[in-house]
Amino acid sequence: MRRLASRADAFVEGFRPGVAQRLGVGYEDLRQANPRLVYASISGFGQTGPYRAWPAHDLSYQAMAGLLYNLIPDGSSAGRPAVAIGDLSSGMFCALGVVAALMARERTGRGQYVDVSMTDGLLSWMTTALTSQLNRGGANDPIGGEPAYGVFRCADGRYLTLSIAHEDHFWRNLCGVLGRPDLADLGGLERRRRRRELADTVQQVIAARPRDEWVEALVRADVACGPVLALEEVVADPHFRERGMFMEWEGPSAEGGQTAARPGVSASGGGEHRWLVNHPLRFSETPTTIRRAAPRLGEHTEEVLAEVGYSREEITRLREEGAV
């Protein structure tokens, strides 16, 4: 590991605090081999603090960062989020931290240690609610308090979202579509004060028509909204298709070659055919592409070891010893 680290720009590990040090691959161990190394550790609660060694997974990180507090009405059980937000967001925070540390290294010539806590990242995403709590001693949730910010059941059993955060003009437009002009002039404070009553009123009207009819009417009236799409609807959605978010990919061919990902083109040539979710960012000068799929475990072991000078005989010995 030290030999690999001596040639690396960045090293990322995701053990519980203390494990990498016990294995002899902690920051202090690897920086001796490469003082320019950027070393990032991702953990549930970070490298310091009383919770640093707690056992937990994503749902618990969300709970402790305050993301779930408004999903538990009247003490009842909350629904489980479908996405591991802490896991995924920590990867993004880590990538940003590594890039920032590499930029700093261009000025200082030195690497550094990046401590990434999944829970801290989620906590930072709760800034709006927590800042109000810190400074005024009470939760201030203008979005969550809006009667037309939520999920509503339609006549066909499917759901749509209304996402009127605080805009009076969206509320007026909604009231026009719902046939309730008597409610159109209610301001934000009054809407939040009467939240339960108004949300029930909105739900009663929404329940009278199917989802897609409502979405068409609401978008035409310029109301902030969106359908709740099932996974099969997401992958067939024309917007995401036009954006190129799904791409057909051809893997290694029978001859052992590999072709690049080709958006919108049927794979051919005897390789493995798969659909992949494309990169979400669009660059004007350096467009992204998926050149190969995620590697299988150990797929590039020999390639990586050869890059740092291991001979074929040494690699064979490492395999025989069970080191790789």
pLDDT band with cut points at 50, 70 and 90 for residue 79: low
Q: In the annotation, is 87 catalytic?
A: yes
Per-residue confidence band for 290, with pLDDT thresholds at 50, 70 and 90: confident
Find, among 132, 122, 134, 129, the residue nearest to 65 by Cα.
122
pLDDT at res. 272: 73
Among the listed residues 219, 171, 178, the one whose alpha carbon sits nearest the alpha carbon of residue 194? 171
Cα distance between residue 177 and residue 49, in whole Å: 52
| Amino acid making up residue 179 | G
Q: Among residues 9, 57, 200, 300, which one is catalytic?
A: 57
Three-state DSSP string of 73-89? HHHCCCCCCCCCHHHHH
Distance of CA 147 to the CA centre of its chain: 27
Q: For the chain, give the mean pLDDT.
A: 89
Considering 58, 74, 87, 279, which one is annotated as catalytic?
87
Taking residues 71-84, what's their average pLDDT? 66
Tell me how far apart the alpha carbons of residues 249 and 246 are, in angstroms, rounded to a whole number: 10
Q: Would the pLDDT of 293 be above 60?
A: yes
Check if 300 is active-site: no
| Torsion sign (Cα): 202, 207, 209, 211 | positive
Please name each of the domains of the chain with its CATH number.
2-127 (3.40.50.10540), 149-228 (3.30.1540.10)
Question: Residue 292 — pLDDT band, cuts 50, 70, 90?
Answer: confident
**pLDDT at position 129, please?**
83
Q: Of 151, 246, 156, 147, whose CA–CA distance to 207 is shortest?
A: 156
Which residue is associated with the tokens 């690049």?
260
Using 50, 70 and 90 to split pLDDT, how confident is the model at 306? very high
The model's pLDDT over 135-153, given as tens digits with 9 standing for 90+, comes to 877 655 556 689 999 999 9
Sign for the pseudo-dihedral over CA of 73, 75, 80, 83: positive
Residue 125 near residue 62, CB atoms below 8 Å? no
